[in-house]
């Protein structure tokens, strides 16, 4: 599994766990991958966290009233 695959799959999984719609999770995972491609991690081992934070920010904009689980 490449880093891009890892980020995409796990961002989708995390956002769905947090109550976002699957469509929103997929869109935001794509944004997270774009973020990965153009940035470097702020701390060692922190790239996934950076990408997940970017995806959460987009998810909140796309679906402000997420379902709580």
Using CA atoms, how far residue 28 sits from 44, 48, in Å, is: 23, 13
Would you state the pLDDT for residue 37? 86
The answer to whether residues 45 and 3 touch, using CB atoms and an 8 Å cutoff, is no
Q: Is position 67 within any domain?
A: no
Q: Which domain holds residue 16?
A: 3-62
Q: Determine what percent of the chain is predicted with pLDDT higher than 90.
A: 49
Using CA atoms, how far residue 59 sits from 43, 44, 45, 64, in Å, is: 23, 25, 23, 8
Q: Is position 33 within any domain?
A: yes
Closest to 65 (Cα-Cα) out of 21, 30, 23: 21
Domain count, the chain: 1
Extract the runs of DSSP E, i.e. beta strands, from 1-69: none
Q: What is the mean pLDDT of each run of 10 residues along the chain (69 residues)?
A: 92 95 95 85 72 90 74
């Amino acid at each position: 599994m490449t880093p891009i695959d890892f980020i995409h799959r796990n961002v989708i999984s995390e956002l769905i766990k947090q109550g976002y719609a699957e469509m929103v999770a997929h869109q935001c995972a794509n944004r997270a991958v774009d973020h990965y491609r153009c940035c470097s991690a702020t701390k060692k081992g922190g790239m996934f966290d950076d990408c997940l934070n970017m995806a959460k920010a987009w998810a909140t904009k796309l679906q402000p009233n997420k379902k709580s689980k």
